[in-house]
Amino acid sequence: STLDQITLDNVDQPQIAWTWQVGILDSHESSPLVIGDTMYIASPKPNYVYALDLNAEGVIIWEFRPDMN
């Protein structure tokens, strides 16, 4: 691998950069998907989809809320 940010010298020093909560108290049914600098998250029911900017501490780029009628 060409990845070099985590080394034997710093592997014991990870820190949380930021967190983001969907605000729905239920378990997630899918893992987040990261493509480039964007993380896509599907919430538990009612199944909202969020696109988060990973360079801006989780700022919402867009969200989709399906019509549940």
pLDDT tens digits for 2-53? 888 888 999 999 888 888 888 877 877 788 999 999 999 998 888 889 999 9
Instruction: Using alpha carbons, list the distances in angstroms from residue 49 to 7, 13, 69.
Output: 34, 32, 17
Residue 28: the pLDDT is 73
φ, ψ at 44 (rounded to 5°): -60, 175
Sign of CA dihedral 21, 63, 32, 16: negative
pLDDT at 12: 93
Question: 50 and 23 in contact (C-beta within 8 Å)?
Answer: no
Choice between 47 and 1, residue whose per-residue pLDDT is larger: 47
Global pTM reads 0.73
Residue reference for tokens 């989780």: 58
